[in-house]
């Protein structure tokens, strides 16, 4: 009989009971929080919120901006994650540190830093030809600055878990490094790319601080679902705010489902089981 199925002693049972009590309190708090949201609103409130032109615009802009942000994040995360995983170059640890700064940086600081960046001479010169601040591009850029960091981290973990031996074999058979990447490493990393895309999309959807500072929350212009909750709360429309919040919760649960069943090991850096 393995140790996992051995009978528990009295001290073991008490130990696990304490752990379950501590963890269970947090789980119950989460369930109670979501249950309170669901009980507060009604299908009528949800339908009424979906009929609002402002909220429908915010949902549409959220879907579009999150999708664009995800594509941009993958465009950067795949090559950068591969570079950080497979090569040793001067300043590699510094680059790795810089890339992860948005993960730990307060979101408001990200938005403020972007706002200051576009107040510099190069930023103002760019905005003469391509308006960014307080426009739709600023929403995408604010989402991208945070979401891309999670995507890069996921892709680096993905390539760390992939053995470089198949690529080395491809090189000995006459492939160039780029061919080994596209024909061997890239297809093998598809689960990681799915996980990175899901994380980037979900993170973009929930982004609030950088968007509020860098893009504002203007109706029919830069309003997304997260800022809709803020705007509805500011005018006392709690029912609409809760309804939009529930839509975001459902979306987040769907993203977690994808991660759990198709990319959980890669996203969380866990080893795969054979």
Provide the pLDDT for residue 38.
81
Mean pLDDT of 146-152: 95
Q: How many CB atoms lie within 10 A of CB 37?
A: 15
Provide the pLDDT for residue 12.
80
Name the pTM for this structure: 0.84
Provide the pLDDT for residue 109.
93
pLDDT band at 271; cut points 50, 70, 90:
very low
Mean pLDDT of the chain: 86
Q: Which tens digits make up the pLDDT trace of 93-119?
A: 999 999 999 999 888 999 999 999 999
Q: Which tens digits make up the pLDDT trace of 63-82?
A: 999 999 999 999 999 999 99
Provide the pLDDT for residue 266.
47
Most distant pair of Cα atoms in the chain: their distance = 73
| Both structure tokens of 270 | 């866990």
Mean pLDDT of 133-145: 94
Instruction: DSSP for 78-129, please give it.
Output: HHHHHHHHH---TTHHHHHHHHTHHHHS-HHHHHHHHHHHTTSHHHHHHHHH
Task: Answer whether 137's CB lies under 8 Å from 130's CB.
Answer: yes
CA pair distance 143, 79, nearest whole angstrom: 20
Provide the pLDDT for residue 273.
42
CA pair distance 70, 59, nearest whole angstrom: 16
Residue 189 makes CB contacts below 8 A (sequence gap 6+) with: 78, 155, 158, 159, 162
Provide the pLDDT for residue 237.
82
Q: Which tens digits make up the pLDDT trace of 218-229?
A: 888 999 999 999
| Both structure tokens of 266 | 């890669």
Whether 59 has a pLDDT exceeding 70, the answer reads yes
pLDDT band at 6; cut points 50, 70, 90:
low
Task: Answer whether 231's CB lies under 8 Å from 223's CB.
Answer: yes
Provide the pLDDT for residue 267.
46
Provide the pLDDT for residue 5.
62
Pick from 200, 227, 228, 199: nearest CA to 211: 227
In the chain, pLDDT over 90 holds for what percent of residues?
Answer: 47
CA pair distance 69, 197, nearest whole angstrom: 9
Q: Which tens digits make up the pLDDT trace of 163-173?
A: 989 888 888 88
Provide the pLDDT for residue 257.
80
Whether 154 has a pLDDT exceeding 90, the answer reads yes
| Residue 109, CB-side half-sphere exposure with 13 Å CA sphere | 6
Task: Answer whether 240's CB lies under 8 Å from 232's CB.
Answer: yes
* Cα 258–chain centre separation: 13
CA pair distance 46, 135, nearest whole angstrom: 28
Provide the pLDDT for residue 268.
44
pLDDT band at 211; cut points 50, 70, 90:
very high
Pick from 151, 136, 147, 146: nearest CA to 62: 136
Q: Which tens digits make up the pLDDT trace of 13-43?
A: 888 889 999 999 999 998 998 888 888 877 8
More confident residue, 49 or 262: 49
């Amino acid at each position: 009989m393995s140790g996992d199925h051995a009978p528990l002693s009295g001290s073991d049972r008490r130990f696990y009971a304490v752990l379950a009590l501590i963890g269970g309190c947090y789980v119950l708090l989460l369930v109670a929080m979501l249950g309170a949201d669901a009980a507060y609103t009604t299908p009528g409130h949800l339908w009424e919120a979906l009929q609002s032109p402002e909220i429908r615009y915010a949902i549409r802009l959220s879907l579009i901006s999150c999708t664009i942000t995800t594509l941009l994040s993958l465009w950067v995360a795949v090559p950068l994650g591969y570079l950080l995983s497979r090569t040793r170059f001067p300043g590699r640890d510094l680059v790795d540190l810089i890339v992860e700064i948005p993960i730990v940086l307060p979101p408001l600081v990200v938005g403020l830093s972007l706002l200051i960046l576009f107040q510099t001479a190069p930023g103002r010169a760019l905005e003469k030809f391509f308006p960014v601040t307080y426009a739709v591009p600023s929403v995408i850029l604010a989402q991208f600055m945070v979401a891309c960091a999670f995507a890069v981290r996921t892709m680096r973990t993905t390539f760390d878990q992939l053995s470089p031996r198949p690529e080395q074999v491809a090189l000995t058979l006459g492939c160039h490094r780029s061919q080994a990447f596209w024909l061997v490493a890239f297809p093998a990393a598809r689960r990681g790319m799915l996980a990175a895309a899901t994380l980037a999309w979900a993170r973009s959807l929930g982004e609030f601080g950088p968007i509020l500072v860098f893009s504002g929350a203007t109706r029919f212009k830069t309003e997304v679902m997260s800022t809709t909750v803020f705007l509805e709360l500011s005018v006392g429309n709690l029912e609409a705010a809760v309804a939009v919040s529930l839509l975001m919760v459902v979306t987040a649960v769907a993203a977690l489902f994808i991660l759990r069943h198709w990319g959980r090991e890669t996203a969380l850096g866990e080893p795969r089981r054979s």
